[in-house]
């Protein structure tokens, strides 16, 4: 059996299970080494709280997206998997999608003005819907990038939260 993402991530950070459990205890959120081993070996399902804990310990917010998009029954249906990309690629994808939507804006108004989507409008509507989904995924990718930069201390978290209003 292949290693789970949780085991791979722990190994990537050169931590033992005991190291992880010690860090979790210091955060007043203990996890037993035996439970972590079962989770890492796919013998025990991980809980959302445990995913958040491991994501914080490892500084890997991608674990949360992985869990939601791949392991949570609701998330599998509604949460897209987000791949980590560099900022330039994210911005270019965002601008491309926004430019495409700018061209489709009038058509969307025409299609939806009557509150119905007629058979001859479905093709254009589905195209526009896919563009909106691309924008949504790009926004999620940007958010994940920001969370990773904050975790890596490449963005001043105090200044970021102050400006963001948190």
- pLDDT reading at 1 higher than 80: no
What is the reported pLDDT for 2? 79
Query: Are both 64 and 93 inside the same structural domain?
Result: no
Query: Are both 159 and 97 inside the same structural domain?
Result: yes
pLDDT in tens, 35-92: 999 999 999 999 999 999 999 999 999 999 999 999 999 999 999 999 989 999 999 9
pTM of the shown model: 0.87
- pLDDT reading at 166 higher than 90: no
What is the reported pLDDT for 115? 96
What is the reported pLDDT for 21? 97
In 3D space, the residue among 90, 100, 96 whose CA is nearest the CA of residue 149 turns out to be: 90
Per-residue pLDDT band at 25 (split at 50, 70, 90)? very high
With tokens 């599998």, the residue in question is 76
Q: What range does the domain containing 114 cover?
A: 87-164
Query: Could you say which of 53, 78, 103 is where a domain stops?
Result: 78
Query: Could you say which of 78, 100, 116 is where a domain stops?
Result: 78
Query: With contact defined as beta carbons under 8 Å apart, do 64 and 55 qualify?
Result: yes
Which class for 128: exposed (0-12), middle (13-18), buried (19 or more C-beta within 10 A)? Answer: buried
Which class for 61: exposed (0-12), middle (13-18), buried (19 or more C-beta within 10 A)? Answer: buried
Query: Are both 72 and 12 inside the same structural domain?
Result: yes
Query: Could you say which of 78, 110, 129 is where a domain stops?
Result: 78
DSSP assignment of 90-107 equals HHHHHHHHHHHHHHHHHH
Alpha helix (H) residue ranges in the chain: 5-12, 17-26, 33-40, 48-58, 62-70, 73-78, 87-112, 122-151, 157-164
| Average pLDDT in the chain | 96
Mean of the pLDDT values across residues 27-36? 96
For the chain, percent of residues with pLDDT exceeding 70: 99
Query: Are both 71 and 93 inside the same structural domain?
Result: no
What is the distance, to the nearest Å, from the Cα of residue 103 to the centroid of all Cα atoms in its chain? Answer: 28
Mean of the pLDDT values across residues 5-32? 97
């Amino acid at each position: 059996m292949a290693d789970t993402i949780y085991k791979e991530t722990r190994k990537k950070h050169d931590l033992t299970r005991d190291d992880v459990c010690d860090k979790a205890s210091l955060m007043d959120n203990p996890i037993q080494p035996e439970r972590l081993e079962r989770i890492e070996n796919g013998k025990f399902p991980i809980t959302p709280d445990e995913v958040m804990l491991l994501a914080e310990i490892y500084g890997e917010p991608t674990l949360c997206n992985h869990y939601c998009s791949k392991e949570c029954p609701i998330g599998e249906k509604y949460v897209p998997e987000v791949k980590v990309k560099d900022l330039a690629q994210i911005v270019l994808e965002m601008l491309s999608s926004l430019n495409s939507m700018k061209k489709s804006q009038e058509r969307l108004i025409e299609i939806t003005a009557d509150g119905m989507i007629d058979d001859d409008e479905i093709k254009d509507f589905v195209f526009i819907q896919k563009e909106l989904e691309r924008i949504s995924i790009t926004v999620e990718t940007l958010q994940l990038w920001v969370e990773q930069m904050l975790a890596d201390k490449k963005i001043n978290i105090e200044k970021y939260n102050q400006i963001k209003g948190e």
